[in-house]
Every structure is written in structure tokens, then in C-alpha cells.
Amino acid sequence: MPNKIKIVTIGGGSSYTPELIEGLILRQEQLPIAELWLVDIEDGAEKMEIVGSMAKRMIAAAKLDWQVHLSLDRKEALKDADYVTTQFRVGLLDARLKDEVIPLANGLLGQETNGPGGIFKAFRTVPVILDIIEDMRQLCPNAWLVDFTNPAGMVTEAAIKYGKWEKTVGLCNVPFGHITQACSVLDVEEKDLYFKFAGLNHFHWHRVWDQQGNERTAELIDKIYSPDQQEKSDEGLKNIHQIPFNYDQVKHLGLLPCGYHRYYYLQEPMLAHAIEEFEQYETRAEVVKKTEARLFELYKDVNLNYKPEELSQRGGAHYSDAACDLIASIQNNSGKLMVVSTRNNGAIADLPFDCVVEVTAAITSHGAEPLRWGALPPAARGMIQLMKAMEETVIEAAVSGDYGAALHAFTINPLIPAGDTAIKVLDQLLYAHKDYLPKFASKIAEIEQTKPEIVTFVDQLLADRQAHAHKA
């Protein structure tokens, strides 16, 4: 009989949790689970109770004897854990709203993992992941950390490089959408294709071959991105406005892009669309808030003991399923190929050996073994080196609270114009997120004392969004 395992999910009150539970149930033969702990903070307690009760119903319906525990005490939950999954959002959805509306009010992209919002999500998240690792060091020193808290690449790099937690793997659902898309376009099953991804989280490219060894990448570029095809193509990304890529540009590179590349390849129309949503009080955060409210109303149903279809509309479908796949692959030393964030180790020749990249890797009992990609073409190499330098600088600022490093991260980011606007938006976001940025406390106090216009602008903007939400 294999040893029983304990899985701890931090951010257990997430609306994604039923998907995690479903994924674990589907893999019950591969995962000898004894205990499942859902952990959250006081502000997330109500949601955790709702989703935790549903998790218990799902497990009971599957006739499994797993013990499900709900806790607000992270240390209690972590003791002797084998796997720790993270799906938390520091500051909850209100923080995401600030990440989106403050840049947009200044004419910059407001988005969860890109531009100023992505940088600030990292600022809030990195110190927390490092705190979690300190607890793990004492309470479950042999556990695996499976991160799908965004920005997953930066969080994973911070965990490995600064937290020194080698047993860390980051996950994202975006590659899953692109794999599904390719199978649909070519009308074949996933097992009949071979995929190879390389890049950074939300900034990767990929190639595709068939079972006979024929590369199908160019064919897919034609069938997905040619002008007469783009309207028919679906990447499964609910949170990205799918403005058609420039066919000539994609064809020149010869690699299939990530949906998030639109923010960089099509910066102007993507920004224009985001500003239009902002003006209509329909930013992604505001839409997701409404979706989440509906989901939790569903979850309250005492007869609901399965994942509802509505969850697929949330925008991050398959995150949790991928996490279950990863845990099962580590547990069983399967060698399965998955797209994960892990240490580069030379897989992408153009990036530092010790940085974290998002690549296809074989998943073993000792972790992810990335497949070698080699060098990228110049058009991709320049962009990815800039983005990696930006990520490294963001992590440095998140760990140190250095304002100069934060400003430098803003300056490097292609979606942020350098100069007065960058400083203004940086200061606005620092003030807006002051409760979750203790590393920057002295700088935030200085902004409050010397820049009353920053305080007034943010307070009025957020009050307006709140007032509109109450009216709706």
C-alpha cells in the first residue's frame, strides 16, 4: 500500500477550488490522499466555508474517505504536508481592480499580469510566497510547492532564487488553451501531436509536430492567423480581447505566439479596447467580481456535489486540473511532458541559466526536467531578454522594497512610458496598495505627506468605481 499523502491548498476559498477537487477525484487511483487542507485568511473565511462544504460534498459523492479540513491557521495546515498548492490573491479582487483601473485612468494598460498591474501583483505576492516557504522549512521540509498564483513565472523565480526552495514548480492554464486550439484546428487528438513551448509565463512561443515527425507549425500559423481564419480561432482565453494578430509578423517569426503577446505586438488597439472597457465600468476585475458572486451563490446549494459548468466562464479554467496532473506526475515519477515554470538550466540559450522560464518539461519524482529549446530568433530574443530583465528587477524590488528598483522595473516594461507618467502611476499604485506593501512603507508615507494630488486622485477614482458597483 503506497504511503498516504497530505495536500494543502493556500487560497482554499478560491472559486477555482471545485476544479481542484474534481481533478483530484479523477486521479484517485494515482493519488493516495489521506488529508486535504484548505487554508485561507480571515477575509476569505466565508468563501472558504462555502467552497469547503462543497468540496466535502464532492468527495462524499465520489465515495472517498479523504479527510477535508478548513483552516485559517496556515502553520497548523502545513505540518507534514507532501504537496502545497498556492492559488491566493493578496488583497483579493479589490486589489486586482486597483491594478486595472489606476493605470487605465492614466492611459496605460491595466491588466492582471502585464504592465503596471502585473508588476504590483508581484510586489504584493512575492513577500507572501517567501513567508510561506519559511513556514514550510519548519513544518514540511520535504514538500513540493506547486504555484499557480499569478504572476506565476515571477513567483516561482522568487521561490527558487530567493526562498531557496528547489522543490517549486509554477503552472499556468494558457498553454493548455493553445494545445486544445491546435488539436481542434488540425482535427486530431492531443496524443497525435508533439508540442514544444519556450519562453516566460504569459510570454512564450511554441512549435508543433505530428506522430510522423512532420512539423505542423507553419500550417497552424496559416490556419489560425491568416486573415480569413482568425475570427474562427479560439484560444480559450476569456480574459484577453482577441484582436487578430498581424499575419505577416507571425509568419515571419515562424513560431506560434501566446495570446498575451497581443499586449506587445498590438499594444495600441489592445490599450484602446481596455480603455473603452474602463469607461464603461467593465474592466476584467469588475466583470470577474460579478462572475464570482454568481459562482458562490451556486456553491451554496447543498445539493451541488459536482463542478458546475459556469466555472469554465471564470477565465482560468484548467489551472487546477493542471496542478492535479503535475502532482500525480511527481508522485508517480511518470515523466509526463507538461508546460511549467522551472529553472532554465540552459533550455533557452538566450536567458540566464538560473532564471525561471516556462517550457515543456518531463515531470519526474525529482521535479521538472526542461526540454532543450536552443536559441530564439532575434525578433523573439530581444523581447524575451528585455522581459526577463524586467522580471528580475521586479522581484528585486518586491524583496527589498527599493523604490529605485521599482521605478527601474517600470522603465524597462515595454507597456509603460518612461518618465513622469511612470513615476505618477507607480506612486498612485503604491498608495492604493499600502496595506499590502510593508516593504515600501516608508516611501508610501512620504508620498502621503508630500504628494496630496496622488492621494486625492486615487481616493476619488476608487470611490467612483465603488459607487458605480453599488448602483449596478
Distance between CA atoms of residues 158 and 170, nearest Å: 11
Whose cell is 491595466? That residue is: 110
Residue 120 pLDDT exceeds 80: yes
pLDDT band at 186 (very low <50, low <70, confident <90, very high): very high
Residue carrying C-alpha cell 478560491: 14
Q: CB under 8 Å to 109, separation ≥6 — which residues?
A: 103, 115, 116, 117, 263, 267, 270, 271, 274, 415
pLDDT band at 448 (very low <50, low <70, confident <90, very high): very high
The structure's pTM equals 0.96
Residue 234 confidence class, pLDDT cut points 50, 70, 90:
low
Instruction: Report how far apart, in Å, the C-alpha atoms of 384 and of each of 348, 381, 413 are.
Output: 10, 5, 11
162 is catalytic: no
Span 429-439, average pLDDT: 98
Q: Of 83, 260, 403, 431, which residue is the catalytic one?
A: 260
Beta strands at 67-71 and 256-257: parallel, antiparallel or unpaired: unpaired
Mark 307-337 as b/e (b = at least 16 C-beta within 10 Å).
beeebeebbbbbbbbbbbbbbbbbbbebeeb
Per residue in 289-329, pLDDT (tens digit) is 998 999 999 999 999 999 888 887 666 566 667 889 999 99
Q: b/e string for 343-374 if b means 16 or more Cβ within 10 A?
A: bbbebbebbeeebbbbbbbebeeebbebeebe
- Residue 414 neighbours by CB distance under 10 Å: 14
Identify the residue whose cell numbers are 508522485. Answer: 331
DSSP state of 215: B
| Strands 367-370, 336-343: pairing kind | unpaired
C-alpha cell at 471: 448602483
* pLDDT of 315: 60
- What's the gap between Cα 69 and its chain centre? 25
Confidence of residue 229 (pLDDT cuts 50, 70, 90): confident
Cα 133 versus chain centre, distance: 19
DSSP 304: -
Query: How many angstroms separate the CA atoms of 453 and 397, rounded?
Result: 25
Residue type, 119: I
Closest by CA position to 287, among listed 82, 157, 465, 40: 465
Confidence of residue 173 (pLDDT cuts 50, 70, 90): confident
**Average pLDDT over the chain, rounded to whole?**
94
Share of the chain above pLDDT 90, in %: 88
Q: Dump the DSSP string for 370-393.
A: EPP-BPPPHHHHHHHHHHHHHHHH
Please list, in sequence order, all residues whose beta carbon lies within 8 angstroms of the beta carbon of residue 274, skipping any fewer than 6 positions away: 104, 109, 110, 111, 241, 283
The residues, ordered by sequence, that sit 6+ positions from 463 with a Cβ below 8 Å of its Cβ are: none
Paired residues of 200 in beta bridges: 203
| Residue 404 burial by Cβ neighbours in a 10 Å radius (0-12, 13-18, 19+) | exposed
Residue 189 backbone class (left: φ over 0; alpha: ψ -120 to 50; beta: rest): beta
**What secondary structure letter does DSSP report for 433?**
T
End-to-end CA distance of the chain: 56
Q: Where are the domains of the chain?
A: 400-471
